[in-house]
Structure 1
């Protein structure tokens, strides 16, 4: 039984060897055809711009759905989308067959988004700075006033009964001054740590045509199919011979 299997295996090998040009040639032709289609097929251009949004809390500038509704014109042929790729980083992606259209649309979106980011940043920064100025003025006024209270207390003779209202006013002013100082220091720290939004990178690349991958896959599949076809061919031929004998 084993000798018969070995004989059949040998006959298969001989048959494949005789048909080697079909076994190799047809998959190679298919591989070349697929490679040619991959090489000359239209490839899309992909434009990407990555922004660092800093400390801008506005959802219209950080939420992809809201940004797409605000910036993307559906009437245009190019495909554009916004996405958050990581914390405080927003990506604009534009895809089209025409490189000039990709560049034009990407530049337009970059300009609009940059202006809005900087405007939101400046509004928050300036409002915080204005609050600091107001608090510093109030702090200065209260410090001048409490100095007068201290002078009034020192002017009182040692044997006189202290003015309880004056002492209470001093205590109140000290508490107010402490709160102002704490708030001013906190806001000054916030201003120092504010990160200005900026464009990190901008690029336009052509999409991959997957030439090598398509060539390998097409050759492997067509080679396997040729094996099946040759096996079926040999089986039919042997079956006909057996029936005719």
Structure 2
């Protein structure tokens, strides 16, 4: 019995029928192009904010930002919020570019007002604390001066005066440290700002879809040719049986 090389036979058959490898990939590519041309373009609008020194959770955590903004603004567009450290991005998706742009503008303005207001409130709070501590520092300084004068005039009150001076000096040092921290915080405070805003057409992934269609077409062609060869061999075997 003559030895058969099945794999070689299949390779030889595929080589002979190689032109049959072209139609199906071409058809798949045409289908992919038609599908892409028929699908409606969609748009993605996004505004990215630098949150700066604002620590308010409702303006820094995506789910809270989304809830706060949707409470004030109603929309039928797809709206969501994403975040990375110190950055908040508002996303609006839809089929109408103008509508996406209008809705994104509303959310952007609303968030911008809220975060600037929060920043101003935080700065004001720091300034009030700083002013209060400086006033307290003046009072303590006056108290120490009084204690020094009082202790020098009345010998029997020297110990009490020294105690008051020591206590006030200790508290003054703590107060000075707090003032230094607040002054540094105030000078380093970073105000929030809008970094970018844009509305762009979403990528339809035409190139990747065409590549996938071509690969799928080639694969199906190999499967069909292999099946064709198998059927021919099966018929030949039946006829010779």
TM-score band, normalised by shorter chain: 0.7 to 0.9
C-alpha contact 2:47 2:90 (8 A) present in aligned 1 = yes
Which residue of structure 2 aligns with residue 115 of structure 1?
A: 113
Deviation at 1:201, TM superposition (A): 2.2
Which residue of structure 1 aligns with residue 27 of structure 2?
A: 29
Deviation string, structure 1 residues 96-151 (Cα, Å, up to 9, x no partner): 11111221121111111111111111111101101211221221233233223334
Structure 2 counterparts to residues 52-91 of structure 1, below 5 A: 52-72=50-70, 76-84=75-83, 86-91=84-89
Say if 2:5 is the partner of 1:5. yes
Once residues 127 and 229 of structure 2 are traced to their aligned partners in structure 1, the CA distance between those partners, rounded to angstroms, is: 88
Once residues 238 and 115 of structure 2 are traced to their aligned partners in structure 1, the CA distance between those partners, rounded to angstroms, is: 83
C-alpha contact 1:81 1:93 (8 A) present in aligned 2 = yes
TM-score with structure 1 length normalisation? 0.84
C-alpha contact 1:27 1:219 (8 A) present in aligned 2 = yes
Structure 2 counterparts to residues 1-245 of structure 1, below 5 A: 4-5=4-5, 9-10=8-9, 13=12, 15-72=13-70, 76-84=75-83, 86-154=84-152, 163-244=158-239
Once residues 56 and 182 of structure 2 are traced to their aligned partners in structure 1, the CA distance between those partners, rounded to angstroms, is: 19
Deviation string, structure 1 residues 10-35 (Cα, Å, up to 9, x no partner): 5752x445544332122212212212
TM-score with structure 2 length normalisation? 0.85
Once residues 234 and 172 of structure 1 are traced to their aligned partners in structure 2, the CA distance between those partners, rounded to angstroms, is: 101
C-alpha contact 1:81 1:92 (8 A) present in aligned 2 = yes
Cα 1:2–1:34 change in 2 (3 A) is: farther
Aligned residues: 239
Deviation string, structure 1 residues 142-171 (Cα, Å, up to 9, x no partner): 323322333444556xxx555333333322
Cα 1:226–1:140 change in 2 (3 A) is: same
C-alpha contact 1:50 1:91 (8 A) present in aligned 2 = yes
Once residues 197 and 105 of structure 1 are traced to their aligned partners in structure 2, the CA distance between those partners, rounded to angstroms, is: 21
C-alpha contact 2:44 2:93 (8 A) present in aligned 1 = yes
Gap regions ≥5 residues in structure 2: none
Question: What is the CA RMSD across the aligned residues, in angstroms?
Answer: 2.6
Q: Secondary structure of the residue that 1:117 maps to in structure 2?
A: helix
Once residues 45 and 108 of structure 2 are traced to their aligned partners in structure 1, the CA distance between those partners, rounded to angstroms, is: 11
Cα 1:45–1:2 change in 2 (3 A) is: farther
C-alpha contact 1:39 1:211 (8 A) present in aligned 2 = no
Deviation at 1:202, TM superposition (A): 2.0
